[in-house]
C-alpha cells in the first residue's frame, strides 16, 4: 500500500506541507469556478432568450483578451506570493460584493448572472497563470516534475467538488446568494493560508519594470507566428477551433434548455462533472496518443473530432447527441490537443515562448469564440425576424460550423506539410544553437 501511495504521490520528507498548501489554493479556485460556471449559465438562460448568451461570450472574450494583455505586462513585475495573495483577495471581495446585486432591485437578474459569468471566465484565465508561475519559482525543475502532478490533482478535485455542489443546489436550491458567499469564504480562507504558509518561502526577486507595452507583446507574438509556416497554420487551426467549439457549446445549451426546462441546471452540472472525470482519464493517455501519431500528425485529431461532432449534430438533433458531440470535442481539446500544442510551443526560443503561447492559447481561441458567437447570433436573429422555424436555422449555423471545421482540417494538413521546413526556420535554429551551449551550464538552485 505504501509503495502504491509513493508511486502516485512521490513526495519526500518535508515536502507535503507546502504541496498541500499550494494544492488547497488551487482547489479553492477550481471549486469556486465549478459552482459559478453552472449557476451563472443556468441562471442567465432562465432569465433571457438562450441566444443572447452568444453576446455574453463575445463580450467575455474581448475582456479576456484585454486581461491577458494586462497579465503579460504585470506578471513578472511583482513578488509572486504577494501577487497570488492579491488575486485571491480580489476574487474574494468580488464574490462578497456580487450578492448585493441580487438583494437590490435596481439590477436585473440577467445582468447579475452575466457579471458572475464574466468573473468566472476571468478567474479561469487569470488565476492558473499566476499560480503556476509561483509554483515554477518555488521548485527547481527536478523537484517540479515530481510535485506538480500532485498539486495539479487538486484542480480536478476542486472542479468535481464545485460541480457536485452545483448539482446538489439544483435539487435543494441553496440560492445563488449563499453560493456566492460560499465562494467568498473559500477565497478568503485561501488568502489567509497563502499569507501564513507561503511568507517564509524564498523566491527570486521580481524582474521589475520593462518597456514592453501590450501592443508590443501582441506584435512580437504575431511576428514570430507568421514567420514560421507551421506555427501560422496552427494559429489558423486555433482560430477555427474557437469558432467550432462555440457553435458546439451553444447547440448543447439551447437543445438542453428547450428539452429539459427547469431540469437544465441539474443536467448541466452533471454534464460538466462527466467531462471533468473523462478529462482526467484522457489526460493520462494523451502522451501515448501523441507519441503514436507523432507530433505533426497529432494536430489532425481535434479537427476531425470537431468535424464528426458537427456532422453528428446536423443529422441527429436533440440534447443527448449534441451533449455527447460537444463533450467529446471538449475533452479532446483540453487533453490531447492541449498537450500537442504545449509540446509544439516548447520549440519556441525561451525569450519569446511566453508571448507566442499567449497569442496561440488566448488571443486566437478568444478571437474564434467572438467570430463563432457573432455569426451564430446573426443567423438566429435573422431566423427569428423572418419567422424561420428553429429546426431550420439551427441547421444553418451547424452547417457553418462544419465549414469552419473543414478549415481546421486544412490547417492541420498544412502543419504536417510544412513541419520539416519550419524546423529549419532561423527563428527555431537560433534556439538550437543557443541550447547547445546553455544546456551544458549548471546554474544551480539560485534564489532558493
The ranges assigned to domains in the chain are: 15-202, 211-431
> Residue 399 and residue 203: Cα distance in Å, rounded?
52
User: Is residue 152 pLDDT above 60, yes or no?
Assistant: yes
pTM for the structure as a whole: 0.81
Residues 154 and 23 sit within 8 Å (Cβ to Cβ): yes
Q: Indicate the average pLDDT of the chain.
A: 84
Do 15-202 and 211-431 agree at the fold level? yes
Q: What does the pLDDT read at residue 443?
A: 34
Give the range among 6-10, 237-241, 364-368 with minimum mean pLDDT: 6-10
> Residue 283 and residue 278: Cα distance in Å, rounded?
9
Mean pLDDT of 184-202: 88
Q: What does the pLDDT read at residue 127?
A: 85
- Model pLDDT for residues 362-389, shown as the tens digit of each residue: 889 999 999 999 999 999 999 999 999 9
How many residues can be counted in the chain?
448
| Type and span of the H or E element at 188 | helix 176-197
> Residue 267 and residue 275: Cα distance in Å, rounded?
12
Closest C-alpha to 402, from 309, 301, 300? 309
Q: Which 8-state DSSP code applies to residue 442?
A: -
Mean pLDDT of 257-262: 86
Q: Comparing 91 with 17, which gets the higher pLDDT?
A: 91
> Residue 228 and residue 188: Cα distance in Å, rounded?
45
Q: What sections of 208-337 are H helices per DSSP? A: 214-227, 229-260, 264-293, 295-298, 301-315, 319-332
- Model pLDDT for residues 164-173, shown as the tens digit of each residue: 999 999 888 8
> Residue 46 and residue 33: Cα distance in Å, rounded?
20
Residues 89 and 192 sit within 8 Å (Cβ to Cβ): no
Using 50, 70 and 90 to split pLDDT, how confident is the model at 214? low
Using 50, 70 and 90 to split pLDDT, how confident is the model at 17? confident
Closest C-alpha to 394, from 405, 407, 382? 382
Chain position carrying cell 495573495:
85
Give the range among 41-45, 299-303, 311-315, 435-439 with minimum mean pLDDT: 435-439
User: Is residue 429 pLDDT above 80, yes or no?
Assistant: no
Residues 374 and 53 sit within 8 Å (Cβ to Cβ): no
Which CATH code for domain 211-431? 1.20.1250.20
Sign of CA dihedral 164, 177, 249, 118: negative
Closest C-alpha to 268, from 108, 36, 48, 113? 36
Using 50, 70 and 90 to split pLDDT, how confident is the model at 215? low
Q: Comparing 66 with 95, which gets the higher pLDDT?
A: 95
Count Cβ atoms below 10 Å from residue 276 Cβ, excluding itself: 22
- Model pLDDT for residues 301-351, shown as the tens digit of each residue: 999 999 999 999 999 988 999 999 999 999 999 888 988 887 787 777 766
436, burial (CB in 10 Å: exposed 0-12, middle 13-18, buried 19+): exposed
If DSSP codes are grouped into helix, strand and coil, which group holds residue 381?
helix
Query: What is the domain class of 15-202 according to CATH?
Result: mainly alpha
> Residue 168 and residue 159: Cα distance in Å, rounded?
14
Amino acid at each position: 500500500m505504501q509503495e502504491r501511495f509513493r508511486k502516485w504521490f512521490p513526495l519526500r520528507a518535508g515536502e507535503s506541507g507546502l504541496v498541500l498548501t499550494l494544492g488547497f489554493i488551487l482547489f479553492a479556485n477550481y471549486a469556486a469556478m465549478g459552482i459559478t460556471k453552472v449557476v451563472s449559465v443556468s441562471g442567465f438562460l432562465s432569465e433571457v432568450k438562450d441566444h443572447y448568451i452568444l453576446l455574453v461570450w463575445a463580450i467575455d472574450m474581448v475582456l479576456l483578451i484585454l486581461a491577458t494583455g494586462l497579465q503579460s505586462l504585470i506578471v513578472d513585475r511583482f513578488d509572486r506570493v504577494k501577487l497570488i495573495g492579491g488575486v485571491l483577495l480580489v476574487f474574494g471581495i468580488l464574490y462578497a460584493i456580487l450578492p448585493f446585486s441580487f438583494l437590490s432591485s435596481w439590477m436585473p437578474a440577467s445582468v447579475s448572472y452575466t457579471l458572475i459569468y464574466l468573473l468566472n471566465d476571468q478567474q479561469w484565465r487569470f488565476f492558473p497563470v499566476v499560480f503556476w508561475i509561483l509554483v515554477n519559482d518555488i521548485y527547481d525543475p527536478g523537484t517540479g516534475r515530481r510535485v506538480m502532478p500532485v498539486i495539479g490533482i487538486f484542480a480536478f478535485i476542486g472542479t468535481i467538488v464545485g460541480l457536485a455542489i452545483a448539482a446538489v443546489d439544483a435539487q435543494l436550491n441553496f440560492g445563488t446568494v449563499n453560493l456566492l458567499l460560499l465562494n467568498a469564504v473559500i477565497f478568503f480562507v485561501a488568502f489567509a493560508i497563502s499569507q501564513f504558509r507561503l511568507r517564509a518561502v524564498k523566491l527570486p526577486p521580481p524582474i521589475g519594470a520593462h518597456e514592453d507595452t501590450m501592443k508590443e507583446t501582441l506584435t512580437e507574438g504575431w511576428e514570430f507566428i507568421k514567420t514560421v509556416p507551421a506555427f501560422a497554420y496552427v494559429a489558423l487551426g486555433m482560430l477555427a477551433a474557437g469558432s467550432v467549439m462555440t457553435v458546439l457549446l451553444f447547440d448543447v445549451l439551447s437543445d438542453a434548455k428547450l428539452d429539459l426546462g427547469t431540469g437544465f441546471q441539474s443536467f448541466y452540472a452533471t454534464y460538466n462533472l462527466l467531462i471533468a472525470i473523462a478529462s482526467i482519464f484522457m489526460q493520462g493517455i494523451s502522451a501515448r496518443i501523441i507519441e503514436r501519431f507523432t507530433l505533426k500528425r497529432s494536430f489532425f485529431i481535434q479537427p476531425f473530432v470537431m468535424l464528426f461532432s458537427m456532422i453528428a449534430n446536423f443529422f441527429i438533433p436533440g440534447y443527448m447527441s449534441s451533449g455527447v458531440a460537444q463533450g467529446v470535442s471538449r475533452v479532446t481539446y483540453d487533453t490531447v490537443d492541449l498537450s500537442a500544442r504545449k509540446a509544439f510551443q516548447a520549440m519556441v526560443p525561451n525569450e519569446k515562448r511566453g508571448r507566442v503561447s499567449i497569442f496561440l492559447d488566448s488571443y486566437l481561441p478568444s478571437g474564434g469564440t467572438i467570430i463563432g458567437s457573432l455569426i451564430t447570433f446573426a443567423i438566429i436573429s435573422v431566423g427569428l425576424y423572418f419567422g424561420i422555424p428553429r429546426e431550420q436555422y439551427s441547421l444553418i449555423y451547424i452547417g457553418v460550423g462544419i465549414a469552419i471545421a473543414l478549415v481546421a482540417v486544412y490547417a492541420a494538413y498544412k502543419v504536417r506539410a510544412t513541419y520539416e521546413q519550419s524546423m529549419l526556420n532561423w527563428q527555431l535554429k537560433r534556439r538550437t544553437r543557443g541550447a547547445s551551449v546553455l544546456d551544458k551550464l549548471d546554474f544551480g538552485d539560485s534564489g532558493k
